[in-house]
Chains A and B, each alone.
Chain A
Amino acid sequence: MPEPETTPAPNVPQARVVRRGRLSRVWIVPVVAALAGAWIAVTKVMSEGPTVTIQFKTAEGIEAGKTKIKYNGVEIGTLQTVKLSDDHRSAVATARMEPDTEHFLVEDTRFWVVRPRISGASVSGLGTLISGAFVTLDIGDSKKSQREFLALELPPVVAREEPGREFVLKAPDLGSLDAGTPLFFRRIKVGEVTSYELAKDSKTLAVKVFVLSPYDELVTANTRFWNASGVDVSLTASGLNVQTESALSVLIGGIAFETPSTGVDLPESDVDSVFPLYENHEAAFRTPAHDPQTFVLVFHQSVRGLAPGAPVEFRGIPIGEVVSVDAELDAKSFDFRAPVTISLDAQRLGVHVISLEPGADPDAVRRNVIDSMVLHGVRAQLETGNLLTGALYVSFDTFPDAPPAMIDWSHKPPRMPTVSGQLETMEASVSSILNKVDKIPFETLGTDLQKSVADLDRTLATANAALVSAKGALDNTGRLVEPNSQLTTDLGNTLRSVDDAANSVRVLADYLERHPESLIRGKPQGTK
């Protein structure tokens, strides 16, 4: 410190002395700042989780730095970059995961993007309309760690950790089913269609359904699955039939299942068991044919109103159903016929194969029983089930008067004899009556009638004259029998004479009785 060169104001007071150290305490500030910065940096590095690469088919809806990776709604990572892949066919995103997510990233972990998805079967991810798409994952079971993943196109319908079992349904066509179509049990949603594929034979579809636990226990060997899509209205021989499932399935379709009670607890069905998918509830619960037999009934009448599926009844008891209705022409007799193929539950007809003697051929026994039934007059006929729609059904009944017939076992399937239906018989009688009526010669009859009437007229005139004469005769007769007439007087006199004569005879007879000797001796004197 240089000495002041001048002293401009001697009366300026002297400042008091303060002593300090050389190094300012202010250095604490940068040290604190550095410590804070270092601490932040350390925690940042420590909190950084693993980085993964996910390949997406399309980067639609995902954004670098924004799109989160969520698991059960919890954010576990963020996409850092989104780039095109080297072949420009897909988008490759790198994501920084939260710490402690190492165990999520294993070989079979599946990633996919959750976007608002409105498919035929479900509406999902509506929240993402506001929040934007996010990436979610299904944690795999594998132990092998992995950092590169190929994202799924569509979200897997069933997450891996959900308990339940998968079953396969065999369906003739897909209908309104789709992955995600709900599966109902008593209208509770208990599962979903997970996938579908064409069966190897290309004739049926294998629809895989996932049934959530504990409902999967309800699926046993005799569980029936049916397509519960929409409203099923059918007009059959038994009337109008409307079947609906829950409102949801009316809108988007669905599959329902039910296990008919058999009294026997069947074991739970195995995973991947194959079940038929019936077209509706009715089809699913149509009495199952225990011992189905196919027969052909040939009708020589209109089969209008007879549709496949129409019931076959024996005196009102369903014993089978119509399989198909065809037409055929007998080339020889030029006779059009309608062969109706039916499926009969022979057991319901009383042919209990179970009650066979051991060793007996069930086919032969069944054949014998049916043969004897036909022999006793059992015939098939078409009956009108519904007068409104004209729907027909096949009815079996006993017709003792039916002409004798036999089952034609030579045909495949065998042909059963038929009789005309009631309506048909009625029609036949009416038409025969009409034919007879038609034959009456009404014109000739009319002319004859006219002639006859003229004759009658004449006859009547004659009759009139005759009547007049008759009247005259009667009048005469009347006069003859009048009380004072000559005839009456004469008649009275005569009768009196007869009376007298009779009296004389009586007296004589009495006398002779008392005196029979007088016949010989004559009347004694003195006596009367």
Chain B
Amino acid sequence: MTAVAPTALQLGLCSCEHCGLLSRAWPGHEEGRCPRCGAGVELRKRDSVQRTWAFLIAAAVCYVPANLLPVLTTKTAAGSDSDTILQGVVLLWSPTGWPLALIVLVASVMIPSAKILALAYLLLSVQHERVDHHDQHGRLYRIVEFVGRWSMVDVFVDAFTAALVQLQPLMSVSPAPGLFFFAAVVVLTMLAAESFDPRLIWDCDGAPEALHAGT
């Protein structure tokens, strides 16, 4: 990169995320405490790559049961029925209901997996210093972070349904184990996105040594 202003890292400065006080990093150390408010300050998120990997792996692990286990148990007079997310998609898929099925498919299956893959891609890129198009990587990260909060919609809707549809003994809906794993996937991917430090993307060209020190 040319004609770029020095980064805070290069200047040895970091700002407090709570009170906004700019402070000098302690030499040889990645982080410290804000001298004004005492909150943690850091040049780069602590153990960002490691933590993101951890959350991502946990999310990936939970993704399997989330899709294999039923998320909702519907009890009607006709008997009880447990459906996984994909079964729900198949159930909804009809000439008139396909848009809904598509929404469920995108929101519940594709987005979580896309998030996991995108974060993994970002992490690998950062780790192997293969970041050529910083702006693209940055946009990818912002998308992941933005979408994250909406992934929760599924879990929210299911929990909401379970709470509302209690017309016992005619009909009742209760959450099934898959829902908890699904919620875990959503939360863990959000945490992963949160713990990923996008600044690492730009670190790749400016200060490779700093990156290594941060991992």
Q: Please report A residues at the B interface, Cβ cutoff 8 Å.
A: 1-9, 12-20, 23-24, 26-27, 29-30, 32-34, 36-37, 40-41, 65-66, 68, 130-132
Given contacts A15-B24, A15-B33, A37-B61, 12 further A-B contacts (CB under 8 A): A4-B12, A5-B11, A8-B11, A15-B25, A16-B33, A17-B29, A24-B51, A26-B47, A29-B55, A29-B191, A30-B54, A68-B79
Please pick, from B11, B26, B34, the residue contacting A6 in the complex, using a CB distance under 8 A.
B11
Is B95's CB within 8 Å of the partner chain A? no
CB of B13 within 8 A of CB of A8, answer yes
Please pick, from A15, A16, A29, A131, the residue contacting B77 in the complex, using a CB distance under 8 A.
A131
CB of A29 within 8 A of CB of B188, answer yes
Q: How far is the CA of A66 from the CA of B80 in the complex (A)?
A: 10
Is B107's CB within 8 Å of the partner chain A? no
15 contacts between A and B (CB under 8 A): A1-B25, A1-B27, A1-B28, A2-B209, A5-B11, A7-B11, A17-B26, A17-B29, A26-B195, A27-B54, A32-B58, A33-B62, A36-B62, A37-B64, A65-B87
Please pick, from B10, B24, B59, B195, the residue contacting A14 in the complex, using a CB distance under 8 A.
B24
CB of A20 within 8 A of CB of B58, answer no
Is B32's CB within 8 Å of the partner chain A? yes
CB of B78 within 8 A of CB of A13, answer no
CB nearest neighbor in B for A32: B58
Chain B contacts of A29 at CB under 8 A?
Answer: 54-55, 58, 188, 191
Chain B contacts of A15 at CB under 8 A?
Answer: 14, 23-26, 31-35, 41
Mark each residue of chain B from 116 to 140: 1 if its CB lies under 8 Å from any CB of chain A, else 0.
0000000000000000000000000
Is B88's CB within 8 Å of the partner chain A? no
Min CB distance B87 to A, Å, is 8
Q: How far is the CA of A37 from the CA of B188 in the complex (A)?
A: 14
Chain B contacts of A7 at CB under 8 A?
Answer: 11-12, 24
CB of B32 within 8 A of CB of A17, answer yes
Is B210's CB within 8 Å of the partner chain A? yes
Chain B contacts of A131 at CB under 8 A?
Answer: 77-79
Q: Please report B residues at the A interface, Cβ cutoff 8 Å.
A: 6, 10-14, 21-36, 40-41, 46-47, 50-51, 54-55, 57-59, 61-62, 64-65, 69, 77-79, 81, 87, 177, 181, 184, 188, 191, 195, 207, 209-210, 213
CB of B35 within 8 A of CB of A18, answer no
CB of A3 within 8 A of CB of B50, answer no
The answer to whether residues A26 and B50 also contact, given A3-B12, A12-B23, A16-B32 and a CB cut-off of 8 A, is: yes
DSSP class of A's interface residues: helix, strand, loop or mixed?
A: loop
Q: How far is the CA of A65 from the CA of B31 in the complex (A)?
A: 56
DSSP class of B's interface residues: helix, strand, loop or mixed?
A: mixed
Please pick, from B23, B29, B61, B77, the residue contacting A1 in the complex, using a CB distance under 8 A.
B29
CB of A40 within 8 A of CB of B177, answer yes
Min CB distance B212 to A, Å, is 10
CB of B33 within 8 A of CB of A33, answer no
CB of B62 within 8 A of CB of A37, answer yes
Chain B contacts of A37 at CB under 8 A?
Answer: 61-62, 64-65, 181
Chain B contacts of A33 at CB under 8 A?
Answer: 57-59, 61-62, 184, 188
CB nearest neighbor in A for B178: A40
CB of A41 within 8 A of CB of B65, answer yes
Chain B contacts of A32 at CB under 8 A?
Answer: 58
Q: How far is the CA of A29 from the CA of B50 in the complex (A)?
A: 12
Q: How far is the CA of A1 from the CA of B26 in the complex (A)?
A: 10
Q: How far is the CA of A20 from the CA of B31 in the complex (A)?
A: 10
Q: How far is the CA of A6 from the CA of B8 in the complex (A)?
A: 10
CB of B40 within 8 A of CB of A26, answer no
Chain B contacts of A68 at CB under 8 A?
Answer: 79
Q: How far is the CA of A24 from the CA of B51 in the complex (A)?
A: 7
CB of A16 within 8 A of CB of B26, answer yes
Q: How far is the CA of A18 from the CA of B36 in the complex (A)?
A: 15
Chain B contacts of A130 at CB under 8 A?
Answer: 77-78
The answer to whether residues A40 and B79 also contact, given A1-B29, A4-B12, A26-B50 and a CB cut-off of 8 A, is: no
Min CB distance A130 to B, Å, is 5
CB of B6 within 8 A of CB of A5, answer yes
| A-B residue pairs, 10 tightest by C-beta | A4-B12, A15-B32, A33-B58, A30-B58, A16-B33, A13-B35, A30-B57, A131-B78, A24-B47, A33-B61
CB of B26 within 8 A of CB of A24, answer no
CB of B34 within 8 A of CB of A4, answer no
Min CB distance B23 to A, Å, is 4
Min CB distance B62 to A, Å, is 5
Q: How far is the CA of A14 from the CA of B33 in the complex (A)?
A: 9
Min CB distance A131 to B, Å, is 4
Q: How far is the CA of A2 from the CA of B206 in the complex (A)?
A: 12
CB nearest neighbor in A for B177: A40
Q: How far is the CA of A68 from the CA of B41 in the complex (A)?
A: 59
Chain B contacts of A23 at CB under 8 A?
Answer: 50
Min CB distance A3 to B, Å, is 6
CB of B184 within 8 A of CB of A24, answer no
Q: How far is the CA of A1 from the CA of B11 in the complex (A)?
A: 12
CB nearest neighbor in B for A13: B35
Q: How far is the CA of A29 from the CA of B185 in the complex (A)?
A: 12
Chain B contacts of A17 at CB under 8 A?
Answer: 26, 29, 32
Min CB distance A356 to B, Å, is 73
CB nearest neighbor in B for A24: B47
Q: How far is the CA of A15 from the CA of B29 in the complex (A)?
A: 10
Chain B contacts of A8 at CB under 8 A?
Answer: 11, 13
Min CB distance B82 to A, Å, is 10
Q: How far is the CA of A8 from the CA of B22 in the complex (A)?
A: 11
CB of B13 within 8 A of CB of A12, answer yes
Min CB distance A32 to B, Å, is 7
